[in-house]
Amino acid sequence: MTTNSIGAVATEYFTFAEDEPFCLESGETLQPVTLAYETYGALNADRSNAILVCHALSGSAHAAGRLDGDPDKLGWWEDTIGPGKAFDTDRFFVICSNVIGSCYGSTGPASLDPATGKPYGLNFPVVTVGDMVRAQVALIDHLGIDKLLCVAGGSMGGMQVLEWAAHHPQRVHAAIPIATTAHHSPMLIAFSEVGRQAIYADPAWQHGAYYDKAQKPDAGLAVARMVGHITYLSEESMHLKFGRRLQGLEKYGYEFETEFEVESYLKYNGHKFTQRFDANSYLYVTKAMDYFDLTQPTGTLAAAFAAATHVKFLVISFTSDWLYPSYHSTQLVSALTATGVDVTYLDVKSSWGHDAFLLEVETMTNLLSSFLDRLVREERVAAPAGYALHTRLASAGAPVLPRIHLADNLA
**Angstrom distance (rounded) from CA 302 to CA 383:** 35
306 is a contact residue toward other proteins (CB under 8 A): no
Catalytic residues: 155, 321, 354
Contact pick of 396, 407, 408, 409 for other proteins (by CB under 8 A)? 396
Neighbours of 244 (CB within 10 A): 8
Q: Which stretch binds other proteins (CB under 8 A): 54-62, 115-123, 213-221, 361-369?
A: 361-369
Q: Is 367 in the site for other proteins (CB under 8 A)?
A: yes
Task: Read off the amino acid at residue 160.
Answer: Q
- Reported as type and span, the H/E element at residue 135 is helix 129-142
- Among 27, 144, 203, 397, interactor with other proteins by CB under 8 A: 397
Minimum distance, C-beta of residue 6 to other proteins, in the bound complex (Å): 24
Question: Which stretch in 50-58, 59-67, 229-237, 364-372 sits in contact with other proteins by CB under 8 A?
Answer: 364-372
Closest CB 205 distance from other proteins, rounded Å: 44
> What does the alpha-carbon distance between residue 217 and residue 168 come to, in Å, rounded to a whole number?
38
Q: Residue 354, interface with other proteins (CB under 8 A)?
A: no
Window contacting other proteins (CB under 8 A); options: 130-138, 217-225, 252-260, 368-376: 368-376
C-beta closer to other proteins: residue 185 or 330: 330
Q: Pick from 90, 8, 7, 87: which is nearest to 54 by CA? A: 87
Burial class (CB in 10 A: 0-12, 13-18, 19+), 396: exposed
The least CB distance from residue 337 to other proteins, in Å, is: 4
Handedness of CA 228, 230, 236, 237 (dihedral sign): positive
Residue 401 as a binder of other proteins (CB under 8 A): the answer is yes
Instruction: Return d(Cα 360, Cα 318) in angstroms, integer.
Output: 9
Smallest separation, CB 111 to other proteins (Å)? 42
Among positions 171, 184, 225, 312, the unique one binding other proteins when judged by CB under 8 A: 312
Q: Is 200 exposed, middle or buried (0-12, 13-18, 19+ CB in 10 A)?
A: middle
CB of 312 to other proteins, least distance (A): 8
Of 348, 358, 381, 406, the one binding other proteins (CB under 8 A) is 348
* Closest alpha carbon to 155 in 38, 75, 76: 76
Helices (H), 233-378: 235-241, 261-274, 279-291, 301-304, 326-339, 356-359, 361-378
Cβ-based nearer residue to other proteins, 247 or 330:
330
Minimal distance, residue 268 CB to other proteins, in Å: 34
Q: Which is nearer to other proteins, 61 or 301 (CB)?
A: 301
Options 86-94, 206-214, 221-229, 367-375: segment touching other proteins (CB under 8 A): 367-375
CA pair distance 335, 144, nearest whole angstrom: 32
Stretch of 43-51, 177-185, 244-252, 363-371 lying at the interface with other proteins (CB under 8 A): 363-371
Instruction: Give counts: helices (H), strands (E), the chain.
Output: 13, 14
**Residues that contact other proteins, how many (by CB under 8 A):** 32
Give the Cα separation of 278 and 270 in Å (integer).
Answer: 13
Binding site for other proteins (CB under 8 A): 312, 314, 330, 333-335, 337-338, 340, 342-349, 363, 366-367, 370-371, 373-374, 377, 392-393, 396-398, 400-401
